[in-house]
């Protein structure tokens, strides 16, 4: 029997995850689900009877527990810390409220004065609960399971900080982009530097990788992305200086941004169902891994549909440099058994079989 450094017996989920991020061979594609911890899970709903959303985020024991729930009940390969991207906005000095209708920053930024009031916070003082939750969940899950930290990309956090809440059009932040581009750039710059420190603290606490959510990047044209979102994301990733830890960059509805996103400095691009995995792999090659990209709505239908969607995504990349995930967060109405079927189907695909199906063996 040949030497097999990635055989089932000796490769931990963390090794597998990190190897996939680096486009190195793995025996199967690692899988997790964006928003895997949350309101579609009965265990989570039960906790929410007793605690508010922000109490869960800010109590390390609870945040760690909520983070671990999907690891236990879905069997995912990575545990993302339970938190919210707006924690950074609050740490920078903006009031944050999270009613059931979604998060709101009631005193958003509209001018230079708003930017001047922002704080350059120390994560260990302002957001210690995030680091502590990561430490706790790492301890609980053991060294073989990758914990993931995360934050919003500068453009996406700027959307919330300028709009106050984001529903539909990004009118105010877009107006700033057109009417006061330097003001927006200085806000993006402040966010990028703060977020670099914030994510670094998560790596220090034990995160194996970090994901940067640029949820609203898809609202920008390529020209706008390259003029605003990209330089700020590049600065964030450079300042973060993640060392060996992979950086995953997510964007929604951003098939037109694949080229510039690949220049952000991230190891992995996380794309949605509108970005074709095989075409993107052909364009970008193996210099960047891909994460995604199943339509979350596929998990509303049935375990069979969810499982088929998982297998189809893996077929499209051949399982090389691929982390199976959804193209956006799991929907609140998703039946847990469909999410379980998605994960199980993804894990059942042997990459030898995929290679054979693609005629590569």
Residue 110 known to be catalytic = no
Number of residues that bind a copy of itself (CB under 8 A): 33
- 84 catalytic, yes or no? yes
Instruction: Give the pairing of strands 289-294 and 268-271.
Output: parallel
Catalytic residue of the set 160, 198, 225, 250: 160
Selection from 339, 61, 329, 360 nearest residue 211 by Cα = 329
Near a copy of itself by CB under 8 A: residue from 22, 110, 274, 358? 274
Under rule CB under 8 A, which residues in 275-334 are in contact with a copy of itself?
A: 275-276, 295-298, 300-302, 305, 331, 333
Report whether 151 contacts 199 (CB < 8 A): yes
Shortest CB 31 distance to a copy of itself, Å = 19
Please say which residue, 168 or 287, places its beta carbon nearer to a copy of itself: 168
Is the sign of the CA dihedral 120, 122, 126, 131 positive or negative?
A: positive
**Binding marks (x or -) toward a copy of itself, 79..118, rule CB under 8 A?**
----------------------------------------
Q: What are phi and psi of 322, to 5 degrees?
A: -130, 130
Give the number of other CB atoms < 10 A from CB of residue 16.
Answer: 23
Q: Smallest gap, in angstroms, from Cβ of residue 221 to a copy of itself?
A: 5
DSSP 292-316: EEE-TTHHHH-HHHHHHHHHHHHHH
- Min. distance of Cβ 220 from a copy of itself in angstroms? 7
Comparing CB distances to a copy of itself, the nearer of 111 and 333 is: 333
Which of 115, 151, 177, 187 lies at the binding interface for a copy of itself (CB under 8 A)?
177
What are 274's two structure tokens? 């509108």
Q: Helix crossing, 154-163 with 171-179: angle to 10°?
A: 110
List CB contacts of 318: < 8 A, sequence separation 6 or more: 351, 354, 355, 358, 360
Counting contacts by CB under 8 A, is residue 215 touching a copy of itself? no
Q: Measure the CA–CA gap between 10 and 2, rounded to whole angstroms.
A: 14
Give buried/exposed letters for 59-85 (b at 16+ CB in 10 A, else e). bbebbbbbbbbbbebbebbbbbbbbbb
Query: What part of residues 117-146 is at the interface with a copy of itself (CB under 8 A)?
Result: none
Residues listed for the chain? 361
Are the C-beta atoms of 324 and 31 separated by less than 8 Å? yes
Residue with Cβ nearer a copy of itself (73 or 301):
301
> Does 51 qualify as catalytic in the annotation?
no
Looking at the Cβ atoms of 298 and 323, the one nearer to a copy of itself is 298
Asked if residue 39 binds a copy of itself (CB under 8 A), the reply is no
160 is catalytic: yes
Under the binding rule (CB under 8 A), the answer on residue 12 touching a copy of itself is: no
The one catalytic residue in 22, 39, 110, 308 is: 39
Positions annotated as catalytic residues are 35, 39, 48, 84, 160
Contact residues: a copy of itself, CB under 8 A: 167-171, 174-175, 177-179, 218-222, 224, 253, 255-256, 273-276, 295-298, 300-302, 305, 331, 333
């Amino acid at each position: 029997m040949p030497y097999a450094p990635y055989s089932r017996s000796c490769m931990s989920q963390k090794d597998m995850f990190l190897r996939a991020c680096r486009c190195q061979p793995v025996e199967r594609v690692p899988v997790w689900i964006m928003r895997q911890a949350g309101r579609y899970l009965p265990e989570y709903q039960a906790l929410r009877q007793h605690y508010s959303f922000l109490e869960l985020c800010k109590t390390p024991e609870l945040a760690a527990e909520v983070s671990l729930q999907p690891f236990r009940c879905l069997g995912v390969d990575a545990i993302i810390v339970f938190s919210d991207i707006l924690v950074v906005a609050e740490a920078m000095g903006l009031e944050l409220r999270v009613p059931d209708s979604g998060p709101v920053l009631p005193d958003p930024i509209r001018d230079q004065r708003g930017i001047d009031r922002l704080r350059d916070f120390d994560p260990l003082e302002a957001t210690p609960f995030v680091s502590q939750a990561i430490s706790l969940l790492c301890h609980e899950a053991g060294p073989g399971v990758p914990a993931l930290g995360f934050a919003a990309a500068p453009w996406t956090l700027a959307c919330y900080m300028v709009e106050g809440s984001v529903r539909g059009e990004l009118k105010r932040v877009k107006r700033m982009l057109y009417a006061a581009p330097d003001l927006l750039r200085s806000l993006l710059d402040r966010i990028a530097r703060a977020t670099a420190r914030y994510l670094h603290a998560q790596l220090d606490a034990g995160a194996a990788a970090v994901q940067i959510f640029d949820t609203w990047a898809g609202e920008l044209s390529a020209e706008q992305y390259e003029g605003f979102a990209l330089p700020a994301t590049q600065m964030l990733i450079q300042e973060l200086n993640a060392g060996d830890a992979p950086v995953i960059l997510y964007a929604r509805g951003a098939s037109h941004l694949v080229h510039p996103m690949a220049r952000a400095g991230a190891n992995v691009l996380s794309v949605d169902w509108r970005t074709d995995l095989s075409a993107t792999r052909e364009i970008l090659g193996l210099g960047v891994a891909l994460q995604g990209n199943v339509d979350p709505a596929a998990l509303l239908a049935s375990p069979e549909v969810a499982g088929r969607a998982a297998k189809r995504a893996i077929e499209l990349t051949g399982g090389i440099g691929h982390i199976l995930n959804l193209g956006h967060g799991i929907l609140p109405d998703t039946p847990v058994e469909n999410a379980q079927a998605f994960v199980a189907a993804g894990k059942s695909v042997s990459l030898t079989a995929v290679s054979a199906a693609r005629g590569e063996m």
